Amino acid sequence: MIPSVRIVEVGPRDGLQNEPQIVATDVKRALIHRLAGAGLKHIEATAFVSPKWVPQMADHAALMAMIGDIDGVNFPVLVPNFKGFEAAMASGAREVAVFASASEGFSQKNINCSIAESIDRFVPIFEAARAQNVRVRGYVSCVVACPYDGAIAPAKVADVAGLLFDAGCYEISLGDTIGVGTPASVRRMLEAVAGRVPVERLAGHYHDTYGMGVANAFASWEFGLTAFDSSVAGLGGCPYAEGASGNVATEDLVYLFEGLGVETGIDLPRLVDCAHWFSAKLGRGPHSRVAKALLARTKP
Amino acid sequence: MIPSVRIVEVGPRDGLQNEPQIVATDVKRALIHRLAGAGLKHIEATAFVSPKWVPQMADHAALMAMIGDIDGVNFPVLVPNFKGFEAAMASGAREVAVFASASEGFSQKNINCSIAESIDRFVPIFEAARAQNVRVRGYVSCVVACPYDGAIAPAKVADVAGLLFDAGCYEISLGDTIGVGTPASVRRMLEAVAGRVPVERLAGHYHDTYGMGVANAFASWEFGLTAFDSSVAGLGGCPYAEGASGNVATEDLVYLFEGLGVETGIDLPRLVDCAHWFSAKLGRGPHSRVAKALLARTKP
């Protein structure tokens, strides 16, 4: 049996949320359709957050209406609270994602409550989701370090991941939000979390701020993870380091896993085409090295 | 005991050789002195090749005269033949590097002879080097794949590495010249080579064309390698993929190894300063993600 991994494309949400220029809704729709055309089966489409917080996501309902259904493709959407959950349901979403931080400082600064309070706020979402047969994915941010509190103890990440898992998340996505992890710190974190949540329910969500995204994904795969989040073209950036890289690029992960003999179900040339097309819409080249190298090779 | 690795900085040679704009000799000298100031103890300074082949290296003798001696820092220089070796000796070099390819096609297209013939041509260099107590480092190129012949058999890499080692090289640097390797193909190659050359005499020389440089270094370190080649700021490019990345960036490797708890002897902030200073001389930003991220963080 050929081993396989599941890639969750987060470019339209996590990537775009960190891009300064507002992208038109029909361009987002085209991006999502091209991603689906390249074989991505899990595409986080948008966030039902307040436009005051994230203007880029203000068109969430309109975008969901434009995307429509694509057979076999999930479009999870981020929801910060029950109001967002209700709006997501009204838009036809069938999967939502909730988020908590492994850092108290980050939780306080970002959502103005403790980690425990932030998870309590999701209880109505979990109840409603269960009743409506909607899947809930959980993000944990700052799994290696926090821009305010510094290094985060692996046991703390395990606690938060465990709480979200117990509450009903089918998968916990472990986010190195500021991209400072290396294979050593990521593995220490995974060892702790795997004692609390089965490894097959964990996803690696690594940012490439310090160029470690691919190496951290590799180390995590060796550890046993088979789900990874990434952004086409390496979309996005880091709000804590202006000019730095964002999510690890989907192309780079696909190239890695193809090299490891691991099936992703993704058509790399089509994905690279999509990366170049969308980067051009943003008026620049893709951040992904694979996209740059493959474009160079296909030049006449 | 804290484990340590030895980083061989190849930016002034392998990096600059693939940069289109000619850099003034005094700027190269300043680059090399700044690299030494950041703690690098092995800096490949230039190549004694014909200016017709590589105009960027035409100032090799003048540069060597300008660098002078720095206590505890080696300045190996690349020599393609005995004439180059003699010129290197006349310039005061105390270490040279020779190169062979693991690909017959690459050897024929680049130096117009077979691999075996290319190694035979180095016999006078090894003899003279031994007599003059000069160290010889050996490069093997195309250790994963070749732009002409495609995939290269690991056994072939082991053969070529073994021939260079037997001939007198103190270390064999294994070059993924076109940067297509992943941890899987790199490990298969290392397993074959380690059957022929002791692992402590091997160095990983990885290009970041497809963004795998850091992951390949990590996998090689796990395998047992403790020497790695890299270029400050990710200098250089790939002559087989225009616009693509060059050598893995020294900053990125230093960040990786610091994260793994492995000593490099290199001062990362000073190295990042050097990367920004030199990239500005080339009229652009550094290719290294670590350099970008650390600059962003130190902005007022």
Residue B300's pLDDT is what?
A: 37
Residue A299's pLDDT is what?
A: 45
Nearest CA in chain A to B254: A210
Q: How confident is the model at residue B245 (pLDDT cuts 50, 70, 90)?
A: confident
Residue A297's pLDDT is what?
A: 60
Contacts for A21 with CB less than 8 Å, ≥ 6 apart: A282, A283
Quickly list DSSP for B44-59: --EE---TTT-GGGTT
Tokens found for residue B212: 């795998």
Pairing mode, strands B202-206 and B227-230: parallel
**Cα distance between the two ends of chain B:** 38
Residues in chain B, total: 300
Question: Averaged in consecutive runs of 10 residues, what is the pLDDT profile of chain A (300 residues)?
Answer: 92 93 97 98 97 94 95 96 97 97 94 94 97 97 96 98 97 96 98 98 96 98 98 87 84 98 97 96 90 69
CB A236 within 8 A of CB A15: yes
Cα–Cα dist B88/B134, whole Å = 11
Quickly list DSSP for B252-287: HHHHHHHHTT-B----HHHHHHHHHHHHHHTTS--S
Tokens found for residue A108: 């306080």
Pairing mode, strands B135-141 and B95-101: parallel
CA distance to A176, A180, B3, B210, per residue, from B261 (Å): 19, 14, 8, 26
CB B169 within 8 A of CB B98: yes
Give which of A218, A223, A240 to mutate to test B binding, by max B Cβ within 10 Å.
A218
Question: In the block, which residue shows the tokens 């080097």?
Answer: B129
Give which of B188, B209, B210, B245 to mutate to test A binding, by max A Cβ within 10 Å.
B210
Q: Please determine, for residue B259, whether its predicted confidence score (pLDDT) is greater than 90.
A: yes
CA atoms within 13 A on the CB side of A272: 19
Torsion of CA A229, B250, B272, A295, to 10 degrees: -50
Quickly list DSSP for A189-238: HHHHHHTTS-GGGEEEEEB-TTS-HHHHHHHHHHHT--EEEEBGGG---B
**Which chain B residues are within 8 Å of A242, Cβ to Cβ?**
296, 299
Cα–Cα dist A183/A63, whole Å = 37
Check A255 against B210: CB less than 8 A apart. Answer: yes
User: Could you tell me which residues of chain A have a Cβ less than 8 Å from any Cβ in chain B?
Assistant: 179, 181-185, 208-212, 214-215, 218-219, 238, 240-245, 249, 252, 255-256, 258-261, 288-290, 292-293, 295-297, 299
Contacts for A40 with CB less than 8 Å, ≥ 6 apart: A7, A9, A73, A250, A266, A271
User: Could you tell me which residues of chain B have a Cβ less than 8 Å from any Cβ in chain A?
Assistant: 179, 181-185, 208-212, 214-215, 218-219, 238, 240-245, 249, 252, 255-256, 258-261, 288-290, 292-293, 295-297, 299
Nearest CA in chain B to A187: B260
Tokens found for residue A252: 């780079």
Q: Please determine, for residue B124, whether its predicted confidence score (pLDDT) is greater than 60.
A: yes
**Which chain B residues are within 8 Å of A245, Cβ to Cβ?**
289, 292-293
Question: In the block, which residue shows the tokens 């694509």?
Answer: A70
CB A11 within 8 A of CB A232: yes
Among candidates A184, A259, A288 on the partner chain, residue whose Cβ is nearest the Cβ of B184: A259
Residue B106: what residue type? F
Q: Please determine, for residue B246, whether its predicted confidence score (pLDDT) is greater than 70.
A: yes
Q: Cβ of A216: how many Cβ atoms within 10 Å?
A: 32
Check A214 against B215: CB less than 8 A apart. Answer: yes
Check B215 against A244: CB less than 8 A apart. Answer: no
Check A259 against B185: CB less than 8 A apart. Answer: yes
A146 in catalytic set: no
Residue B194's pLDDT is what?
A: 98
Residue B55's pLDDT is what?
A: 93
pTM (2 decimals)? 0.95
Cα–Cα dist A145/A150, whole Å = 5
Q: Give the gap in angstroms from C-alpha B118 to the nearest C-alpha of chain A.
A: 29
Question: In the block, which residue shows the tokens 């041509």?
Answer: B121
Q: Please determine, for residue B168, whether its predicted confidence score (pLDDT) is greater than 50.
A: yes
Q: Which of A142, A146, A169, A238 is catalytic?
A: A238
Q: How confident is the model at residue B296 (pLDDT cuts 50, 70, 90)?
A: low
CB B31 within 8 A of CB B12: yes
Q: Which of B142, B146, B169, B238 is catalytic?
A: B238
CB B244 within 8 A of CB B24: no
Check A215 against B214: CB less than 8 A apart. Answer: yes
Tokens found for residue B293: 């991220």
Burial of B71 (0-12, 13-18, 19+ CB in 10 A): exposed
Check A289 against B218: CB less than 8 A apart. Answer: no
What are the strands of the beta sheet with B171-176, ordered from one edge? B6-9, B227-230, B202-206, B171-176, B135-141, B95-101, B77-78, B46-47
Per-residue pLDDT tens over the stretch B19-59: 889 999 999 999 999 999 999 999 999 999 999 989 999 99
Q: Give the gap in angstroms from C-alpha A180 to the nearest C-alpha of chain B.
A: 9
ipTM comes to 0.94
- Provide the 3-class DSSP secondary structure of residue A53: coil
- The residue ranges of DSSP E strands in B33-183, in sequence order, are 46-47, 77-78, 95-101, 135-141, 145-146, 150-151, 171-176
Question: In the block, which residue shows the tokens 């470019």?
Answer: A11
Check B211 against A296: CB less than 8 A apart. Answer: no
Element (H, E) at B139: strand B135-141
CB A54 within 8 A of CB A17: yes
Nearest CA in chain A to B257: A182
Would you give the DSSP letter of residue A143? S
Residue B41's pLDDT is what?
A: 98
Going along chain B from its start, the domains and CATH numbers come out as 6-298 (3.20.20.70)
CA distance to A256, B14, B70, B83, B237, per residue, from B11 (Å): 25, 6, 18, 24, 11
Check B255 against A182: CB less than 8 A apart. Answer: yes
Check A210 against B245: CB less than 8 A apart. Answer: no
Residue A245's pLDDT is what?
A: 80
Cα–Cα dist A104/A146, whole Å = 9
**Which chain B residues are within 8 Å of A211, Cβ to Cβ?**
214, 249, 252, 255, 288-290
Among candidates B185, B218, B255 on the partner chain, residue whose Cβ is nearest the Cβ of A210: B255
Q: Cβ of B284: how many Cβ atoms within 10 Å?
A: 9
- The residue ranges of DSSP E strands in B170-214, in sequence order, are 171-176, 202-206
Among candidates B238, B245, B256 on the partner chain, residue whose Cβ is nearest the Cβ of A212: B256
